[in-house]
């Protein structure tokens, strides 16, 4: 590599580390709201920590505690909703596995760190080495901060007492809105969201808690048809 090429490569590596750390810090901040919401939903601090350590995928964790807050009878629906939200990580993994070229235990670690943020940083890079660096630095930074802030949030949540007084139930609504927002990129996405929401509300008075949410997932079948711009 020419000296200029080497300088450019090290510049790209510094840039991806900066990007990875800033994504990690921003995501870590959600951990506080997750920890507080988890204890408000009836989990203890260890259970909130177990979700962040072992499940480690924010959207699924928020969905799980949101539904389990209705009681243990909602557990199957909570598991179903968190699992369906986790399918996208499997799709990210399909893209990442060639890029990372990891084997054995390293691949298992890579699987655990396969989330929205690490994938986004990895696929945004121009070359393979920078992608790998971006994936690992983002994944590890988010993992450490997400778990530390979950603990902080759970401890704060325990001090608060009745979650309604501080609007923690409404914080969950705002959190789901914020998780949904960046996905509403086109008219098809908005239509799917509206159908999902209407189905869930219409079914809520007649079905046990959590089941309407899982049923509303069927709205994603609206994506069966080919978007107009993709037709020949």
Instruction: Using CB under 8 A, pick the residue from 19, 92, 140, 148 that binds another protein.
Output: 92
Nearest-approach distance from CB 137 to another protein, in angstroms: 18
Q: Which phi and psi angles does 167 have, rounded to 5°?
A: 70, 25
User: Which of 86, 16, 4 lies closest to 51, judged by CA?
Assistant: 86
| Piece in contact with another protein (CB under 8 A), picked from 9-17, 41-49, 121-129, 138-146 | 41-49
Instruction: Using CB under 8 A, pick the residue from 9, 21, 84, 155 that binds another protein.
Output: 84
Question: Quick check: 149 and 28 in contact, CB under 8 A?
Answer: yes
Instruction: Closer to another protein by CB, 17 or 204: give it.
Output: 204
Would you say how long the chain is, in residues? 232
Is 88 among the residues that bind another protein (CB under 8 A)?
A: yes
The owner of tokens 């901060």 is: 145
Number of helices and strands in the chain (H, E): 10, 0
User: Which of 154, 144, 156, 179 lies closest to 25, judged by CA?
Assistant: 144
Is 90 among the residues that bind another protein (CB under 8 A)?
A: yes
Subset of residues 104 to 143 that bind another protein, contact rule: CB under 8 A:
107-108, 110-112, 114
Instruction: Closer to another protein by CB, 7 or 221: give it.
Output: 221
Instruction: Closer to another protein by CB, 16 or 43: give it.
Output: 43
Is 151 among the residues that bind another protein (CB under 8 A)?
A: no
Is 171 among the residues that bind another protein (CB under 8 A)?
A: yes
CA separation, residue 130 to residues 14, 83, 98, 232 (Å):
9, 31, 14, 36
Instruction: Using CB under 8 A, pick the residue from 16, 20, 39, 85 that binds another protein.
Output: 85
What is the C-alpha end-to-end distance of the chain, expressed in Å?
A: 44
| Piece in contact with another protein (CB under 8 A), picked from 1-9, 15-23, 131-139, 187-195 | 187-195
Instruction: Closer to another protein by CB, 7 or 173: give it.
Output: 173
User: Which of 123, 60, 63 lies closest to 95, judged by CA?
Assistant: 123
Is 23 among the residues that bind another protein (CB under 8 A)?
A: no
Instruction: Closer to another protein by CB, 12 or 76: give it.
Output: 76
Q: What's the rounded Cα separation, in Å, for the pair 178 and 187?
A: 18
Is 152 among the residues that bind another protein (CB under 8 A)?
A: no
Q: What's the rounded Cα separation, in Å, for the pair 31 and 120?
A: 19
Instruction: Closer to another protein by CB, 134 or 212: give it.
Output: 212
The owner of tokens 């990007």 is: 19
């Amino acid at each position: 590599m020419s000296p200029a090429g080497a300088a450019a490569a090290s510049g790209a590596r510094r840039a991806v580390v900066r990007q990875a750390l800033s994504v990690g810090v921003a995501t870590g901040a959600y951990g506080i709201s997750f920890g507080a919401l988890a204890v408000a939903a009836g989990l203890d601090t260890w259970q909130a920590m177990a979700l962040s350590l072992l499940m480690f995928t924010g959207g699924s964790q928020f969905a799980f505690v949101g539904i389990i807050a209705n009681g243990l009878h909602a557990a199957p629906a909570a598991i179903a909703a968190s699992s369906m939200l986790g399918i996208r990580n499997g799709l990210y993994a399909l893209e990442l596995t060639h890029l990372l070229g990891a084997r054995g235990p390293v691949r298992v670690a890579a699987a655990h760190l396969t989330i929205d943020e690490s994938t986004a940083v990895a696929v945004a890079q121009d070359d393979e080495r920078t992608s790998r660096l971006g994936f690992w630095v983002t994944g590890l930074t988010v993992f450490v901060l997400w778990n530390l802030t979950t603990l902080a949030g759970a401890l704060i949540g325990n001090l608060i007492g009745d979650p309604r007084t501080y609007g923690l139930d409404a914080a969950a609504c705002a959190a789901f809105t914020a998780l949904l927002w960046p996905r509403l990129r086109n008219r098809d996405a908005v239509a799917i969201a509206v159908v999902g929401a209407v189905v869930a509300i219409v079914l809520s008075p007649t079905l046990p808690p959590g089941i309407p949410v899982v049923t509303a997932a069927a709205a994603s079948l609206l994506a069966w048809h080919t978007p107009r711009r993709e037709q020949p």
